[in-house]
Amino acid sequence: MAKSWVNSAERIGSDLHLELSGPGSRRAALIDALREAVRGGRLAPGTRLPPYRSLAADLGVARNTVADAYAELVAEGWLTARQGSGTRVAERAEPSRGHARVPVRTPPRARGPRHDLRQGTPDASTFPRATWLASYRRALQQAPNEVFGPGDPAGRIELREALAEYLARARGVRTEPGRIVICSGFAHALRLLFDAHPPVLRGPLAVEEYSLPFHRELLAAAGVRTVPLPLDEHGADVGRLARERAVLLTPAHQFPTGGPLHAERRTAVVDWARARDGVVLEDDYDGEFRYDRKPVGAVQGLDPERVVYVGSVSKSLSPAVRLGWMVLPERYVDGVLAAKGEREAWASVLDQLSLADFLTSGSYDRHVRRMRQRYRSRRDRLVAALAEHAPHIEVTGVAAGLHAVLRLPPGTERSAVKAATWAGVALDGLAEFRHPDAARGTAEVGTAAREAPGTGTAAHDGLVVGYATPSEHAYGAALDALCRALPPEAG
Protein backbone atom coordinates (compact mmCIF):
# COMPACT_ATOMS: atom_id res chain seq x y z
CA MET A 1 0.00 0.00 0.00
CA ALA A 2 1.44 3.39 -0.97
CA LYS A 3 1.76 6.23 1.49
CA SER A 4 2.26 9.66 -0.08
CA TRP A 5 2.39 13.38 0.72
CA VAL A 6 3.89 12.87 4.13
CA ASN A 7 3.38 15.93 6.30
CA SER A 8 6.51 16.28 8.42
CA ALA A 9 6.19 19.86 9.59
CA GLU A 10 6.85 19.35 13.31
CA ARG A 11 10.38 20.75 13.19
CA ILE A 12 11.34 21.50 9.61
CA GLY A 13 8.01 22.95 8.44
CA SER A 14 7.98 21.08 5.12
CA ASP A 15 6.15 18.26 3.35
CA LEU A 16 7.93 15.16 2.08
CA HIS A 17 6.37 13.13 -0.72
CA LEU A 18 7.24 9.41 -0.46
CA GLU A 19 5.80 6.30 -2.03
CA LEU A 20 6.10 3.18 0.21
CA SER A 21 5.13 0.13 -1.79
CA GLY A 22 6.23 -3.38 -2.61
CA PRO A 23 6.04 -6.78 -0.93
CA GLY A 24 9.06 -6.29 1.33
CA SER A 25 9.41 -4.77 4.78
CA ARG A 26 8.48 -1.21 5.63
CA ARG A 27 12.17 -0.52 6.34
CA ALA A 28 13.21 -1.69 2.86
CA ALA A 29 10.38 0.26 1.23
CA LEU A 30 11.41 3.43 3.06
CA ILE A 31 15.07 3.00 2.07
CA ASP A 32 14.09 2.49 -1.58
CA ALA A 33 11.77 5.52 -1.54
CA LEU A 34 14.38 7.85 -0.02
CA ARG A 35 17.13 6.56 -2.31
CA GLU A 36 14.93 7.11 -5.36
CA ALA A 37 14.01 10.63 -4.22
CA VAL A 38 17.69 11.56 -3.96
CA ARG A 39 18.65 9.80 -7.18
CA GLY A 40 15.88 11.51 -9.13
CA GLY A 41 16.80 14.96 -7.81
CA ARG A 42 13.59 15.54 -5.84
CA LEU A 43 15.65 15.75 -2.66
CA ALA A 44 18.47 18.13 -3.48
CA PRO A 45 21.90 17.99 -1.77
CA GLY A 46 21.76 19.68 1.62
CA THR A 47 18.03 19.12 2.11
CA ARG A 48 17.23 18.44 5.77
CA LEU A 49 15.05 15.37 6.35
CA PRO A 50 12.34 15.12 9.00
CA PRO A 51 13.31 13.84 12.47
CA TYR A 52 12.72 10.15 13.19
CA ARG A 53 9.66 10.77 15.34
CA SER A 54 7.95 13.10 12.82
CA LEU A 55 8.46 10.88 9.80
CA ALA A 56 7.51 7.73 11.75
CA ALA A 57 4.26 9.34 12.91
CA ASP A 58 3.39 10.50 9.39
CA LEU A 59 4.12 7.10 7.84
CA GLY A 60 2.54 5.05 10.60
CA VAL A 61 5.71 3.02 11.21
CA ALA A 62 7.93 2.47 14.21
CA ARG A 63 10.51 5.08 15.09
CA ASN A 64 13.27 2.45 14.87
CA THR A 65 12.23 1.71 11.27
CA VAL A 66 13.01 5.27 10.26
CA ALA A 67 16.21 5.33 12.33
CA ASP A 68 17.45 2.13 10.69
CA ALA A 69 16.60 3.42 7.22
CA TYR A 70 18.47 6.67 7.83
CA ALA A 71 21.47 4.76 9.20
CA GLU A 72 21.59 2.48 6.16
CA LEU A 73 21.53 5.44 3.75
CA VAL A 74 24.20 7.28 5.76
CA ALA A 75 26.40 4.20 5.47
CA GLU A 76 25.80 4.09 1.70
CA GLY A 77 26.71 7.77 1.36
CA TRP A 78 23.28 9.04 0.38
CA LEU A 79 22.75 10.94 3.65
CA THR A 80 24.86 12.63 6.32
CA ALA A 81 24.08 12.92 10.01
CA ARG A 82 25.64 15.38 12.45
CA GLN A 83 24.80 16.24 16.00
CA GLY A 84 22.69 19.40 16.09
CA SER A 85 22.32 19.52 12.30
CA GLY A 86 19.98 16.57 11.80
CA THR A 87 19.97 14.22 8.84
CA ARG A 88 20.55 15.76 5.42
CA VAL A 89 21.02 14.67 1.84
CA ALA A 90 24.74 14.32 1.18
CA GLU A 91 26.27 17.19 -0.78
CA ARG A 92 27.79 14.79 -3.31
CA ALA A 93 25.39 11.89 -3.05
CA GLU A 94 26.37 9.34 -5.72
CA PRO A 95 24.04 6.61 -6.93
CA SER A 96 24.78 3.02 -6.13
CA ARG A 97 26.53 0.87 -8.71
CA GLY A 98 24.39 0.16 -11.74
CA HIS A 99 22.45 3.44 -11.61
CA ALA A 100 23.33 6.51 -13.66
CA ARG A 101 22.99 9.82 -11.90
CA VAL A 102 20.57 12.20 -13.56
CA PRO A 103 22.23 15.62 -13.79
CA VAL A 104 20.16 18.66 -12.83
CA ARG A 105 20.80 21.49 -15.24
CA THR A 106 19.60 25.04 -14.93
CA PRO A 107 18.26 26.23 -18.27
CA PRO A 108 20.17 29.22 -19.66
CA ARG A 109 18.50 32.58 -19.30
CA ALA A 110 17.36 34.10 -22.53
CA ARG A 111 19.47 37.08 -23.49
CA GLY A 112 17.48 40.17 -24.27
CA PRO A 113 18.56 43.24 -26.22
CA ARG A 114 21.31 45.40 -24.78
CA HIS A 115 19.12 48.49 -25.03
CA ASP A 116 15.36 48.27 -24.56
CA LEU A 117 13.59 51.22 -26.16
CA ARG A 118 10.26 49.52 -26.66
CA GLN A 119 7.16 51.47 -25.77
CA GLY A 120 4.70 50.81 -22.98
CA THR A 121 6.87 49.90 -20.01
CA PRO A 122 7.94 52.18 -17.15
CA ASP A 123 11.38 52.16 -15.55
CA ALA A 124 11.15 49.13 -13.26
CA SER A 125 13.88 50.48 -10.97
CA THR A 126 11.65 53.40 -9.95
CA PHE A 127 8.89 51.36 -8.36
CA PRO A 128 8.19 53.07 -5.00
CA ARG A 129 9.07 50.08 -2.84
CA ALA A 130 9.26 51.84 0.51
CA THR A 131 5.98 53.76 0.24
CA TRP A 132 4.17 50.82 -1.35
CA LEU A 133 5.37 48.59 1.49
CA ALA A 134 4.14 51.15 4.01
CA SER A 135 0.71 51.18 2.34
CA TYR A 136 0.68 47.38 2.21
CA ARG A 137 1.46 47.12 5.92
CA ARG A 138 -1.22 49.61 6.87
CA ALA A 139 -3.73 47.87 4.63
CA LEU A 140 -2.90 44.47 6.11
CA GLN A 141 -3.05 45.70 9.68
CA GLN A 142 -6.37 47.49 9.20
CA ALA A 143 -8.05 44.90 6.98
CA PRO A 144 -11.25 43.44 8.42
CA ASN A 145 -11.48 39.67 8.68
CA GLU A 146 -13.90 39.43 5.77
CA VAL A 147 -11.10 40.59 3.45
CA PHE A 148 -9.66 37.07 3.65
CA GLY A 149 -12.85 35.44 2.40
CA PRO A 150 -14.36 35.37 -1.10
CA GLY A 151 -14.03 38.72 -2.85
CA ASP A 152 -16.59 41.06 -4.36
CA PRO A 153 -16.44 40.92 -8.19
CA ALA A 154 -16.76 44.70 -8.24
CA GLY A 155 -13.58 45.01 -6.20
CA ARG A 156 -12.94 46.29 -2.69
CA ILE A 157 -15.11 49.25 -1.75
CA GLU A 158 -12.09 51.00 -0.21
CA LEU A 159 -10.36 51.11 -3.60
CA ARG A 160 -13.48 52.07 -5.52
CA GLU A 161 -14.11 54.98 -3.13
CA ALA A 162 -10.49 56.13 -3.41
CA LEU A 163 -10.63 55.91 -7.22
CA ALA A 164 -13.89 57.84 -7.43
CA GLU A 165 -12.27 60.71 -5.53
CA TYR A 166 -8.95 60.58 -7.38
CA LEU A 167 -10.40 60.29 -10.89
CA ALA A 168 -12.79 63.18 -10.26
CA ARG A 169 -9.95 65.37 -8.99
CA ALA A 170 -7.20 64.41 -11.43
CA ARG A 171 -9.02 63.35 -14.61
CA GLY A 172 -12.44 65.06 -14.47
CA VAL A 173 -14.29 61.75 -14.31
CA ARG A 174 -17.86 61.88 -12.97
CA THR A 175 -18.81 58.69 -11.17
CA GLU A 176 -19.55 56.97 -7.88
CA PRO A 177 -18.07 53.79 -6.33
CA GLY A 178 -21.03 51.68 -7.44
CA ARG A 179 -20.17 52.26 -11.09
CA ILE A 180 -16.51 51.27 -10.76
CA VAL A 181 -15.40 47.69 -11.38
CA ILE A 182 -11.84 46.65 -10.60
CA CYS A 183 -10.05 44.59 -13.23
CA SER A 184 -6.47 43.55 -13.96
CA GLY A 185 -5.86 45.97 -16.81
CA PHE A 186 -7.17 47.19 -20.16
CA ALA A 187 -7.01 43.80 -21.88
CA HIS A 188 -9.05 42.27 -19.07
CA ALA A 189 -11.59 45.06 -19.46
CA LEU A 190 -11.94 44.30 -23.18
CA ARG A 191 -12.51 40.61 -22.43
CA LEU A 192 -15.18 41.42 -19.88
CA LEU A 193 -16.98 43.71 -22.31
CA PHE A 194 -16.75 41.71 -25.54
CA ASP A 195 -15.84 38.11 -24.70
CA ALA A 196 -18.55 37.35 -22.14
CA HIS A 197 -21.53 35.07 -22.77
CA PRO A 198 -23.62 36.97 -23.61
CA PRO A 199 -21.28 39.89 -24.44
CA VAL A 200 -21.86 43.20 -22.71
CA LEU A 201 -20.97 45.07 -25.92
CA ARG A 202 -21.06 43.92 -29.53
CA GLY A 203 -19.25 44.92 -32.68
CA PRO A 204 -18.54 46.26 -35.13
CA LEU A 205 -16.13 48.43 -33.16
CA ALA A 206 -14.40 51.46 -34.64
CA VAL A 207 -10.75 51.82 -33.61
CA GLU A 208 -8.00 54.30 -34.40
CA GLU A 209 -6.06 53.22 -37.47
CA TYR A 210 -2.89 53.12 -35.36
CA SER A 211 -3.32 51.17 -32.12
CA LEU A 212 -2.04 48.15 -30.21
CA PRO A 213 -2.15 44.97 -32.34
CA PHE A 214 -2.64 42.93 -29.17
CA HIS A 215 -5.98 44.61 -28.51
CA ARG A 216 -7.14 44.05 -32.09
CA GLU A 217 -6.14 40.39 -31.88
CA LEU A 218 -7.99 40.00 -28.60
CA LEU A 219 -11.12 41.50 -30.13
CA ALA A 220 -10.83 39.37 -33.24
CA ALA A 221 -10.57 36.25 -31.07
CA ALA A 222 -13.84 37.31 -29.44
CA GLY A 223 -15.48 37.59 -32.87
CA VAL A 224 -15.51 41.40 -32.91
CA ARG A 225 -14.87 43.11 -36.24
CA THR A 226 -12.84 46.30 -35.94
CA VAL A 227 -13.11 49.21 -38.38
CA PRO A 228 -10.17 51.68 -38.67
CA LEU A 229 -10.74 55.41 -38.23
CA PRO A 230 -8.26 57.74 -39.98
CA LEU A 231 -5.99 59.96 -37.90
CA ASP A 232 -4.75 63.48 -38.49
CA GLU A 233 -3.25 66.27 -36.40
CA HIS A 234 -6.52 66.53 -34.42
CA GLY A 235 -6.71 62.85 -33.54
CA ALA A 236 -9.22 60.29 -34.79
CA ASP A 237 -11.60 61.52 -37.47
CA VAL A 238 -14.80 60.65 -35.62
CA GLY A 239 -16.83 62.25 -38.39
CA ARG A 240 -16.26 59.01 -40.33
CA LEU A 241 -18.25 56.99 -37.79
CA ALA A 242 -21.34 55.40 -39.31
CA ARG A 243 -22.91 52.05 -38.50
CA GLU A 244 -20.54 50.98 -35.72
CA ARG A 245 -21.98 50.24 -32.29
CA ALA A 246 -18.98 51.48 -30.33
CA VAL A 247 -15.69 53.29 -30.81
CA LEU A 248 -12.41 52.78 -28.94
CA LEU A 249 -10.27 55.90 -28.52
CA THR A 250 -7.12 57.08 -26.71
CA PRO A 251 -8.18 60.74 -26.42
CA ALA A 252 -5.67 61.93 -23.80
CA HIS A 253 -2.65 60.87 -25.86
CA GLN A 254 -3.28 58.97 -29.07
CA PHE A 255 -1.33 55.74 -29.11
CA PRO A 256 1.13 55.58 -30.73
CA THR A 257 1.18 58.75 -32.86
CA GLY A 258 0.68 61.19 -29.97
CA GLY A 259 -1.50 64.21 -29.42
CA PRO A 260 -4.90 64.66 -27.74
CA LEU A 261 -8.27 64.37 -29.41
CA HIS A 262 -9.41 67.86 -30.42
CA ALA A 263 -12.14 69.43 -28.27
CA GLU A 264 -14.62 69.61 -31.16
CA ARG A 265 -14.13 65.92 -31.88
CA ARG A 266 -14.64 65.04 -28.23
CA THR A 267 -18.02 66.71 -28.38
CA ALA A 268 -18.77 65.17 -31.76
CA VAL A 269 -18.08 61.60 -30.65
CA VAL A 270 -20.35 61.97 -27.63
CA ASP A 271 -23.08 63.39 -29.89
CA TRP A 272 -22.62 60.39 -32.19
CA ALA A 273 -23.01 57.97 -29.25
CA ARG A 274 -26.22 59.71 -28.17
CA ALA A 275 -27.69 59.70 -31.67
CA ARG A 276 -26.76 56.09 -32.44
CA ASP A 277 -27.36 54.69 -28.93
CA GLY A 278 -23.68 53.78 -29.09
CA VAL A 279 -20.85 53.89 -26.58
CA VAL A 280 -17.35 55.36 -26.44
CA LEU A 281 -14.57 53.23 -24.90
CA GLU A 282 -12.01 55.62 -23.46
CA ASP A 283 -8.54 54.19 -22.90
CA ASP A 284 -6.93 56.84 -20.70
CA TYR A 285 -3.49 56.05 -22.10
CA ASP A 286 -0.70 58.13 -20.53
CA GLY A 287 -3.28 60.47 -19.00
CA GLU A 288 -0.97 61.27 -16.05
CA PHE A 289 2.16 62.08 -18.06
CA ARG A 290 1.93 65.39 -19.87
CA TYR A 291 4.86 67.82 -20.23
CA ASP A 292 4.29 70.71 -22.61
CA ARG A 293 0.53 71.21 -22.47
CA LYS A 294 -2.27 71.61 -20.00
CA PRO A 295 -3.95 68.47 -18.67
CA VAL A 296 -6.64 67.05 -20.93
CA GLY A 297 -9.63 65.81 -18.97
CA ALA A 298 -11.47 62.58 -19.66
CA VAL A 299 -14.12 62.43 -22.38
CA GLN A 300 -16.21 60.53 -19.82
CA GLY A 301 -16.91 63.80 -18.05
CA LEU A 302 -18.98 64.96 -21.04
CA ASP A 303 -21.50 62.14 -20.68
CA PRO A 304 -20.98 59.38 -18.05
CA GLU A 305 -23.85 57.35 -19.54
CA ARG A 306 -22.24 57.14 -22.99
CA VAL A 307 -18.58 56.52 -22.11
CA VAL A 308 -16.82 53.50 -20.60
CA TYR A 309 -13.66 54.86 -19.01
CA VAL A 310 -10.76 52.43 -18.46
CA GLY A 311 -7.50 53.07 -16.64
CA SER A 312 -4.74 51.16 -14.89
CA VAL A 313 -1.46 51.53 -12.99
CA SER A 314 0.61 49.64 -15.57
CA LYS A 315 2.41 52.83 -16.70
CA SER A 316 2.22 54.95 -13.57
CA LEU A 317 3.35 52.21 -11.13
CA SER A 318 4.13 48.88 -12.74
CA PRO A 319 2.48 46.31 -15.02
CA ALA A 320 3.36 43.74 -12.33
CA VAL A 321 0.75 45.20 -9.96
CA ARG A 322 -2.03 44.04 -12.33
CA LEU A 323 -4.68 46.53 -11.25
CA GLY A 324 -7.02 48.52 -13.44
CA TRP A 325 -10.56 49.89 -13.31
CA MET A 326 -13.62 50.40 -15.43
CA VAL A 327 -15.94 53.36 -14.86
CA LEU A 328 -19.21 52.21 -16.37
CA PRO A 329 -22.54 53.67 -17.44
CA GLU A 330 -25.19 52.35 -15.08
CA ARG A 331 -26.74 50.05 -17.69
CA TYR A 332 -23.53 48.05 -18.09
CA VAL A 333 -22.62 47.44 -14.44
CA ASP A 334 -24.68 44.29 -13.93
CA GLY A 335 -23.52 42.77 -17.21
CA VAL A 336 -19.86 43.31 -16.41
CA LEU A 337 -20.25 41.87 -12.90
CA ALA A 338 -22.03 38.82 -14.35
CA ALA A 339 -19.19 38.38 -16.86
CA LYS A 340 -16.64 38.62 -14.09
CA GLY A 341 -18.28 36.02 -11.88
CA GLU A 342 -19.25 35.92 -8.24
CA ARG A 343 -15.73 35.46 -6.90
CA GLU A 344 -12.98 37.98 -7.50
CA ALA A 345 -10.25 35.93 -9.17
CA TRP A 346 -8.21 38.51 -11.05
CA ALA A 347 -6.88 41.16 -8.68
CA SER A 348 -5.41 40.49 -5.25
CA VAL A 349 -7.59 41.97 -2.52
CA LEU A 350 -4.50 42.95 -0.52
CA ASP A 351 -3.10 44.78 -3.56
CA GLN A 352 -6.43 46.56 -3.95
CA LEU A 353 -6.32 47.69 -0.33
CA SER A 354 -2.69 48.76 -0.73
CA LEU A 355 -3.54 50.87 -3.77
CA ALA A 356 -6.46 52.41 -1.90
CA ASP A 357 -4.09 53.48 0.88
CA PHE A 358 -1.51 54.61 -1.68
CA LEU A 359 -4.11 56.89 -3.23
CA THR A 360 -5.64 58.31 -0.05
CA SER A 361 -2.27 58.91 1.62
CA GLY A 362 -1.11 61.09 -1.28
CA SER A 363 1.73 58.69 -2.16
CA TYR A 364 0.34 58.08 -5.63
CA ASP A 365 0.23 61.80 -6.48
CA ARG A 366 3.78 62.29 -5.23
CA HIS A 367 5.01 59.29 -7.21
CA VAL A 368 3.33 60.46 -10.43
CA ARG A 369 4.79 63.96 -10.06
CA ARG A 370 8.25 62.51 -9.48
CA MET A 371 7.97 60.21 -12.50
CA ARG A 372 6.60 63.03 -14.65
CA GLN A 373 9.78 64.99 -13.98
CA ARG A 374 11.99 61.96 -14.64
CA TYR A 375 10.30 61.04 -17.90
CA ARG A 376 10.28 64.63 -19.10
CA SER A 377 14.04 64.69 -18.54
CA ARG A 378 14.34 61.44 -20.49
CA ARG A 379 12.27 62.91 -23.30
CA ASP A 380 14.41 66.05 -23.40
CA ARG A 381 17.61 63.97 -23.62
CA LEU A 382 16.16 61.99 -26.53
CA VAL A 383 15.17 65.13 -28.42
CA ALA A 384 18.57 66.73 -27.77
CA ALA A 385 20.47 63.64 -28.91
CA LEU A 386 18.48 63.49 -32.14
CA ALA A 387 18.94 67.20 -32.77
CA GLU A 388 22.71 66.74 -32.46
CA HIS A 389 23.25 63.43 -34.25
CA ALA A 390 20.23 63.09 -36.56
CA PRO A 391 18.76 66.55 -37.17
CA HIS A 392 17.03 65.32 -40.32
CA ILE A 393 14.76 63.06 -38.23
CA GLU A 394 11.46 64.65 -37.17
CA VAL A 395 10.35 63.82 -33.61
CA THR A 396 6.61 63.88 -32.91
CA GLY A 397 4.17 62.95 -30.14
CA VAL A 398 6.42 64.18 -27.32
CA ALA A 399 4.07 66.54 -25.45
CA ALA A 400 2.97 63.67 -23.23
CA GLY A 401 3.44 59.96 -22.66
CA LEU A 402 6.38 57.59 -22.42
CA HIS A 403 7.43 57.34 -26.06
CA ALA A 404 8.16 59.39 -29.17
CA VAL A 405 7.60 58.76 -32.87
CA LEU A 406 10.56 59.34 -35.17
CA ARG A 407 9.36 60.11 -38.71
CA LEU A 408 11.61 58.50 -41.32
CA PRO A 409 12.06 59.01 -45.07
CA PRO A 410 9.67 56.86 -47.10
CA GLY A 411 10.83 53.29 -47.57
CA THR A 412 13.39 53.28 -44.73
CA GLU A 413 11.42 51.95 -41.76
CA ARG A 414 12.16 48.27 -42.24
CA SER A 415 15.89 48.79 -42.73
CA ALA A 416 15.99 51.14 -39.72
CA VAL A 417 14.37 48.52 -37.47
CA LYS A 418 16.87 45.93 -38.75
CA ALA A 419 19.81 48.28 -38.15
CA ALA A 420 18.59 48.95 -34.62
CA THR A 421 18.33 45.21 -33.97
CA TRP A 422 21.90 44.68 -35.15
CA ALA A 423 22.97 47.50 -32.81
CA GLY A 424 21.29 45.73 -29.88
CA VAL A 425 18.40 48.22 -29.68
CA ALA A 426 14.87 46.90 -29.27
CA LEU A 427 12.17 49.20 -30.64
CA ASP A 428 9.08 49.06 -32.82
CA GLY A 429 8.36 50.22 -36.33
CA LEU A 430 5.30 52.41 -36.74
CA ALA A 431 3.84 50.00 -39.28
CA GLU A 432 3.46 47.35 -36.57
CA PHE A 433 0.61 49.37 -35.07
CA ARG A 434 -1.36 50.12 -38.25
CA HIS A 435 -4.69 48.40 -38.71
CA PRO A 436 -4.45 45.87 -41.56
CA ASP A 437 -7.58 47.33 -43.19
CA ALA A 438 -6.34 50.93 -43.05
CA ALA A 439 -4.31 50.66 -46.25
CA ARG A 440 -7.25 49.66 -48.42
CA GLY A 441 -9.99 51.58 -46.58
CA THR A 442 -13.43 50.27 -45.64
CA ALA A 443 -17.00 50.97 -46.63
CA GLU A 444 -17.86 52.05 -43.11
CA VAL A 445 -15.38 54.93 -43.05
CA GLY A 446 -15.43 55.54 -46.79
CA THR A 447 -11.66 55.96 -47.19
CA ALA A 448 -9.75 55.50 -50.39
CA ALA A 449 -6.78 53.18 -50.52
CA ARG A 450 -4.14 55.93 -50.41
CA GLU A 451 -5.46 59.46 -49.94
CA ALA A 452 -3.48 62.63 -50.07
CA PRO A 453 -1.20 63.58 -47.13
CA GLY A 454 -3.05 65.25 -44.29
CA THR A 455 -6.17 63.12 -44.46
CA GLY A 456 -4.79 60.66 -41.97
CA THR A 457 -5.06 57.59 -44.23
CA ALA A 458 -1.59 57.66 -45.79
CA ALA A 459 0.94 55.38 -44.13
CA HIS A 460 4.10 56.94 -42.72
CA ASP A 461 7.48 55.37 -42.06
CA GLY A 462 8.62 55.79 -38.50
CA LEU A 463 10.01 54.34 -35.31
CA VAL A 464 8.18 54.19 -31.98
CA VAL A 465 10.85 54.83 -29.34
CA GLY A 466 10.09 54.33 -25.67
CA TYR A 467 12.26 56.33 -23.30
CA ALA A 468 10.96 55.07 -19.95
CA THR A 469 12.22 51.49 -19.74
CA PRO A 470 16.05 51.77 -19.49
CA SER A 471 17.54 52.42 -16.10
CA GLU A 472 19.12 55.82 -15.58
CA HIS A 473 22.70 54.58 -15.89
CA ALA A 474 21.94 52.73 -19.15
CA TYR A 475 19.93 55.44 -20.88
CA GLY A 476 22.84 57.37 -22.36
CA ALA A 477 24.30 54.29 -24.03
CA ALA A 478 20.86 53.42 -25.39
CA LEU A 479 20.54 56.85 -27.01
CA ASP A 480 24.00 56.57 -28.56
CA ALA A 481 23.17 53.18 -30.04
CA LEU A 482 19.85 54.48 -31.37
CA CYS A 483 21.43 57.47 -33.11
CA ARG A 484 24.06 55.26 -34.76
CA ALA A 485 21.32 52.99 -36.14
CA LEU A 486 19.20 55.73 -37.72
CA PRO A 487 19.31 56.19 -41.52
CA PRO A 488 21.54 59.04 -42.71
CA GLU A 489 20.19 62.14 -44.34
CA ALA A 490 19.35 61.59 -47.98
CA GLY A 491 21.99 63.09 -50.24
Q: What is the mean pLDDT of residues 133-161?
A: 93
Q: What is the pLDDT of residue 108?
A: 47
Q: How far apart are CA 350 and CA 297, in angstroms?
A: 30
Q: What is the pLDDT of residue 95?
A: 46
By DSSP bridging, strand 394-396 and strand 403-407 are: antiparallel
Record the pTM: 0.79
Judged against a pLDDT cut of 70, whether residue 13 lies above it is answered with: no
pLDDT-above-70 percentage for the chain: 87
Q: How far apart are CA 388 and CA 369, in angstroms?
A: 29
Q: How far apart are CA 458 and CA 436, in angstroms?
A: 13
- Peptide bond just before 198 cis, omega within 30 deg: yes
Q: What is the pLDDT of residue 447?
A: 35
Lowest mean pLDDT among 6-20, 307-321, 422-436, 456-470: 6-20
Question: Mind listing the pLDDT tens digit for each residue in 220-247?
Answer: 999 999 999 999 999 999 999 988 999 9
Q: Which domains does the chain have, with CATH numbers?
A: 6-89 (1.10.10.10), 126-361 (3.40.640.10), 366-485 (3.90.1150.10)
Q: What is the mean pLDDT of residues 261-280?
A: 96
Bridge partner list, 283: 310
Q: What are phi and psi of 411, to 5 degrees?
A: 85, 5
Q: What is the pLDDT of residue 391?
A: 92
Q: How far apart are CA 96 and CA 94, in angstroms?
A: 7
The secondary element (H helix, E strand) that includes residue 182 is strand 180-183
Q: What is the pLDDT of residue 121?
A: 86
Q: What is the mean pLDDT of residues 169-197?
A: 94
3-state class (DSSP) for residue 384 = helix
Question: Mind listing the pLDDT tens digit for each residue in 291-332?
Answer: 877 778 899 999 999 999 999 999 999 999 999 999 999 999
Judged against a pLDDT cut of 50, whether residue 448 lies above it is answered with: no
Question: Mind listing the pLDDT tens digit for each residue in 325-378?
Answer: 999 999 999 999 999 886 555 688 999 999 999 999 999 999 999 999 999 999
Lowest mean pLDDT among 43-57, 119-133, 173-187: 43-57
Compute the mean pLDDT over every residue in the chain, rounded to the nearest whole number: 86
Query: Using the 8-state DSSP alphabet, how is residue 8 labeled?
Result: E
Bridge partner list, 228: 207
Q: What is the pLDDT of residue 343?
A: 58
Q: What is the pLDDT of residue 221?
A: 92
Q: What is the pLDDT of residue 292?
A: 79
The dihedral of CA 158, 159, 165, 168: what is its sign? negative
> Would you list the DSSP string of 408-473?
--TT-HHHHHHHHHHTTEE-EEGGGGB-TTTTT--TTTT--SS--TTSS-S---EEEEE-SSS-HH
Question: Mind listing the pLDDT tens digit for each residue in 21-79?
Answer: 766 788 888 888 888 888 888 888 888 888 888 888 888 788 888 888 888 888 888 88
- Of 141, 157, 146, the closest CA to residue 356 belongs to 157
Lowest mean pLDDT among 184-198, 235-249, 369-383, 449-463: 449-463
Contacts of 336 (CB under 8 A, 6+ apart): 181, 192, 193, 196, 200, 326, 328
Query: Comparing 308 with 448, which gets the higher pLDDT?
Result: 308
Judged against a pLDDT cut of 50, whether residue 93 lies above it is answered with: no
